[in-house]
Amino acid sequence: MMKRYLILILLVTLALTSAVVVGCGQRQKHQDILDYLAKTNPLGAEFFEKIAAVMEAYPTSQDVMESLDVNRFLEVLANEKKTVSEALDTVNSAVSFLGNTPPPTEAETLHSLMIESFQTAKAGLLKLSYVSRIRYEYTYSMLNPSVPKKEFPPGVYEEMGQGLQLIEEAIRMWDEVGAEMDNLLQFIER
């Protein structure tokens, strides 16, 4: 997946630097698409970087929890909260950027797919943010006698599962995003 994305970035760079002789109207359409791709490609790279950190945080917390090292578990939960928060910030920024960046007509489908993927990831990250906060507060209250004990609400792990599923769905949507980017590059090549 990531290799395909990097290849796309290289193709966009190549297309931006190559001089293609086409009619002025067609040339401007191509340039508009390439400009749009150059602006939006970094969003995907940052998205995958942050989502990878989130997806790595959850198995780590599970492993530490099973080791019964409660203090280390609290550290891992704090990191989990941080990675989810950073990913949520990235997704919110991407949605905002796309909302303020009108696509060329030929890139409207791509634009919609990216927004849909980011919105799906946001829904999943909001669930994981809730789960991370609950797990951290509960564990912290258990370790610190001076803090009132927190109740562990039912359904937290179901929320975690749903959040992770939504993120996986958002990642799968990037297959469609990649296919649409390929279509745009083929349009430019013609």
Inform me whether the pLDDT recorded for 114 exceeds 60: yes
Is 79 a domain residue?
Answer: yes
Q: Specify the pLDDT at position 29.
A: 79
Q: Which domain holds residue 93?
A: 29-189
What is the pTM for the complete model shown? 0.80
Q: Considering its fold, how many domains does the chain have in total?
A: 1
- Give tens-digit pLDDT for 1-38: 555 554 555 445 545 544 444 445 678 878 888 888 88
Q: What are phi and psi of 5, to 5 degrees?
A: -65, -40
Task: Report the CATH number that the domain containing residue 125 is assigned in CATH.
Answer: 1.20.120
Q: What is the pLDDT of residue 13?
A: 54
Q: Give the tens place of pLDDT for each residue, 123-171.
A: 999 999 999 999 888 888 888 888 888 788 899 989 999 999 999 999 9
